[in-house]
Structure 1
Amino acid sequence: MKIHKRYISALVAMLFAVPVMAQVPAPAPKQSKPVLLKGATLHIGNGQVVENAAVGFDNGKITYAGPQSGANLSGYQVVDVTGQHIYPGLIQPNATLGLNEVESVKATIDWREIGDMNPNVRSVIAYNTDSDIIPTVRANGVLMTQLTPIGGTISGTSSIVQLDAWNWEDAIVKADEGLHLNWPYMLVETGNKEADERLKRMAGEREKTILELEKLFRDAAVYSAGKHDNLNLKLAAMTGLFDGSRKLYIHANYGKEIIEGVNFAKQQGVKEIVVVGARDAVAVADFLKTNNISVIYSGVHALPSRAEEDVDMPYKTPYLLHKAGIPFALDYDLSIHGTRNLPFIAGTAAAYGLDKEQALAAVTLNTAKILGIDKQAGSVEVGKDATLVVSSGDLLDMRTNNVTHAFIQGRQVDLNNKQKYLYEKFENKYKNQQQQVPTTATSSAAGK
């Protein structure tokens, strides 16, 4: 079939007419020369603040973090960020970012596997580094996330990734670091005969599920203790639970479920336990503290769990956990689009009792400690990865958060994204219309 040159020219013109800015920015190249940020207020992430500070980094690692007066400028490319603020890159735990693009389009959803017990499922291999959502998250200071599978009783293993990579292999910070267990819901009779009959059947299913869990954990413990000719992927994925090399994340909210789930895990010989969700964590704080259990709290921007609770209970729960001495981090409850609001839930916690630097730690260093990556991330300290952000305003305040620079392992990240492009596109459209209106009005008046 012969194609007219005119149609080819039109097609080429259409392709070049697609704005480049609407695409996902290419990952930044490896850091090629030392960089020194100077003049900003440094929020280290461990509670300390340094005024008029400097942060230097080379080959992706922080080489200096402290007062500007003590920095050696020799050989460094100096970036003046006077009047701004330097923060550690924020870390979002318990997220499906990159596993789900459009919730109404099934082909873009890859956050769960068929079946109920899937310890061998690896979330990281489904991670889409070309997601349009990822650049919008980086623009608010979130530079790392924990890819978390959902669904079933055991949904699979999570991995921690940085958010500027060509593929999932390049993105990995810590692979397959934890197994996720959705503890079966407890059921309470309602007094309604029909409803209670249904609940009774559900309670039977719950008991059956717990028995299956007990058998699976027992088999995994035996499997981990010996050598095997045949590989069992499900049992092999669980072996790290018994030597502490892999964490067990128990997703539970109701106080009795938290206690039951933690006791179950300890009875099975699990070494490292983290409770995720944890809406009732304050009610069982003594139990959590006694058993040295960390918490990833998901409910800051939520309604109270019970009618009798204070309306601001979710907002002040982080402060109450801190006061009780419970190690905790904050997340945005598995929302892919909500991940960009991670700094603002920390800001809400700061408005309801937490010190501002404590709130920052809840989305940086505390999270890194819970996820087991605090030796390389979570704070701006010498020897750690140069994963940090610079904001002209308070990063935790929605009104002033304005990230001007972001670095992941020393690489300067492109902060452009689809939302910024669309904002500028329509802002220019209406600016042009406003500029044209007075001219038209004047001409009409002159005509009269």
Structure 2
Amino acid sequence: MKQLLLCLPLLTALTAAAQVPMPAPAQSKPILLVGGNLHVGNGTVVPDAAVAFDKGRITYAGAQSGFAQRAGYEVIDVKGQEVYPGLILPNTTLGLTEVESIRATVDEQEVGMMNPNVRSLIAYNTDSDIIPTVRTNGVLLAQITPRGGMLSGQSSIVQLDAWNWQDAAVRPDDGLHLNWPAMVLKLSSAEDEKAVERRTKERQTQLRDLEAMLTEAAAYKSLPAGHRENLRLSALSGIFDGSKTLFIHADYGKEIVEAVSFAKRLGAQKVAVVGARDAWMMLDFLKQHDIAVVLSRTHALPRRPGDDYDLPYKLPNILQQAGIRYCLDYEGSMETAGSRNLAFIAGTSAGFGLTPEQALTAVTLSPARILGIDKDYGSLETGKSATLVVSSGDLLDMRTNNITHAYIDGRAFSSENKQLYLNRKFKSKYSMP
């Protein structure tokens, strides 16, 4: 019994160390970072820079020689280090999924095909063990996105250091997510023609139902005030006045053309394509209709045997050269846990045509613009949120990514996470006497 009582404090300490860190309090005093190389996020790099922020907002970002007033600031020397905006992760189930193989920890989709009224924000779990591991690599904001069905529901943008979803919300219900029905192709030479015909009719029925709902939602929006609210139709209203973006998940070129034409015909004001692995075939179409692209699966094999082996890696540069608005996300196997690799996806793109600053913009300012939060986030400029990271090396290179300071809205949060704790634990196992 005495041995057990002696062990209890140690067990308590180990358990506490493995918990999600407590959210940081609001910034209490002005902070000044000096001497680092400032990567603004818009393509500009300022060597030997100064970044000052107070009450969560940037008061100065530029050459150190241009900022003489240091009185009252807590000065932090980051000489020789790199200062970056916090990375922004679009189209993710972070906080909705914990262990993908355990159904009880997965809350990313609702039953049914048409769920425009579903709000991912209220299911967002700020106590997820995965969130701190994602922050460790520089991802500080995310678009929490539902999955499943045809109309999955509404995504929301959150910052990744909060007590609850209310505190986390940066832009609630920023857009609706539509999974475009896949084209009907004959699966094999042995497939019965009737089976193909049946799948074709099912797809046509789905599209008719979708058009009927969107048409009804457009009519509902024009009703006078005071009518009884229809949650499904009111959730769709924002796509007709531009207050919400319609995110269409589609990969094949024909699907992209079909889906965008469909949405525009029915009056959607802001449309973005998510996935878009065939975007290189649709450059003129995307440019003509000013369609933003949230590019997925950059770390992937080519879709077709005849494609260039490096097509997924160089696709961001193809979009860049064509003048298409785009950003990068992480979608693939182990999607939620793999979100921490967002910086390295951008780094791969930098090795296949993009400049390092263009690659950085693809995970900072570009997603901020597409998600409608660029007034406050995405770049380090005077007046914007002090959401930034400092790395001793290149943030986009997994060999040198090493964050030494990190702030969300000026709050210096803990970089501790469960994986770091386990690393220390088992490294010490063989060093114990």
User: Is there any run of 5+ residues in structure 1 with no aligned partner, and where?
Assistant: 437-448
Per the alignment, residue 371 of structure 1 pairs with: 371
What is the TM-score with the length of structure 1 in the denominator? 0.93
One-letter code aligned to 1:126: A
Offset at residue 6 of structure 1 (A):
6.8
One-letter code aligned to 1:408: I
Per the alignment, residue 310 of structure 2 pairs with: 312
The SS at the match of 2:177 is: strand
One-letter code aligned to 1:333: E
Does the CA contact (< 8 Å) of 1:190 and 1:196 recur in 2? no
Residues 301/13 of structure 1: CA separation in 2 closer, same or farther (3 Å cut):
same
The alignment status of 1:73 with 2:70, answered yes or no, reads: yes
Aligned pairs, number = 429
One-letter code aligned to 2:373: I
One-letter code aligned to 1:339: S
Offset at residue 73 of structure 1 (A):
1.1
The alignment status of 1:211 with 2:208, answered yes or no, reads: yes
Residues 418/268 of structure 1: CA separation in 2 closer, same or farther (3 Å cut):
same
Report matched runs for 1:45-444 at 5 Å. 45-71=41-67, 72-190=69-187, 192-227=189-224, 229-333=227-331, 335-432=335-432
Cα distance in 2 for partners of 1:254, 1:376 equals 34
Cα distance in 1 for partners of 2:47, 2:101 equals 47
The SS at the match of 2:280 is: coil
Does the CA contact (< 8 Å) of 1:46 and 1:357 recur in 2? yes
Cα distance in 1 for partners of 2:192, 2:256 equals 25
Per the alignment, residue 26 of structure 1 pairs with: 22
Cα distance in 2 for partners of 1:323, 1:7 equals 68
Cα distance in 2 for partners of 1:390, 1:195 equals 59
Residues 429/331 of structure 1: CA separation in 2 closer, same or farther (3 Å cut):
same
The alignment status of 1:39 with 2:35, answered yes or no, reads: yes
Cα distance in 1 for partners of 2:187, 2:107 equals 36
Residues 190/111 of structure 1: CA separation in 2 closer, same or farther (3 Å cut):
closer
One-letter code aligned to 1:275: V
Per the alignment, residue 443 of structure 1 pairs with: none
Instruction: Tell me which stretches of 4 or more aligned residues in structure 1 moved more than 4 Å.
Output: 5-15
Offset at residue 333 of structure 1 (A):
1.0
Partner deviation per Cα, 1:330-378 (whole Å, 9 max, x = no partner): 0001610111000000000000000100000000000000000000000
What is the TM-score with the length of structure 2 in the denominator? 0.96
Does the CA contact (< 8 Å) of 1:146 and 1:160 recur in 2? yes
Cα distance in 2 for partners of 1:154, 1:285 equals 26
User: Is there any run of 5+ residues in structure 2 with no aligned partner, and where?
Assistant: none
Partner deviation per Cα, 1:174-194 (whole Å, 9 max, x = no partner): 000100000000012356243
Cα distance in 2 for partners of 1:269, 1:291 equals 13
Cα distance in 1 for partners of 2:207, 2:95 equals 31
Larger Rg: 1
Cα distance in 1 for partners of 2:319, 2:369 equals 16
Cα distance in 1 for partners of 2:207, 2:111 equals 19
